[in-house]
A = this chain, B = another copy of it.
Amino acid sequence: MLSPEIEPKAFRNLSYGLYIVTSRDEDRLNGQVVNTVIQVTSDPPRLAVIINKKNLTHEYISKSKVFGVSVLAESAPLTFFGPFGFSSGRDTDKLSKVQYKKGFNGCPLLTEHTLSVIEVEVSDQIDMGTHTIFVGPVVHSEVLTEGQPLTYHYYHEVMKGKTSKNAPTYTE
């Protein structure tokens, strides 16, 4: 190529997991499917998550400065986690149909189809236009069960799942 151009297909080779990221606004709880969760340091352990500003979970994390990550198992059925991705907590209580416990930071942590749970306190947030990167130290983490984590690749290739328009990795 003689001049720079952007081929979005090139990003589709980036690898991700699939998670339910939750937060709260006082006693109101919500969560959503996220593929962009990443560890940023090991000493101390810190995580980053990227959330679309349109999402209710964004509003809750911005207010409460806490979030929870539930790492989905590969065996989690689409009927279980699909509603966390393709409906809004403004219209429906997403937590009403799943088993969860309250974390130490008050965020719901799933207890079914979940390998491990991680609680984070937000220390930094970086405005990225359509999305915000929330970063902070892990305050609690726990393995619930052994198993293979669900990957974004498995979700697309094997489960034939689609990408939400609000995802950082959405392409038309």
What residues of chain A have their CB less than 8 Å away from a CB belonging to chain B?
1, 3-11, 13-18, 36-48, 50, 71, 104, 115-119, 124, 126, 128-131, 133, 135, 138-143, 149, 151-153, 167-171
Contact = CB atoms under 8 A, between A and B. Distances in A.
B13 A15 contact: no
10 contacts: A1-B140, A4-B119, A6-B141, A10-B116, A11-B138, A13-B17, A13-B116, A14-B38, A15-B16, A41-B130
A39 B71 contact: no
B170 A11 contact: no
Copies per assembly: 2
A81 to B, nearest CB: 15
A153 B151 CA distance: 10
A6 B71 contact: no
B104 A4 contact: yes
A129 to B, nearest CB: 6
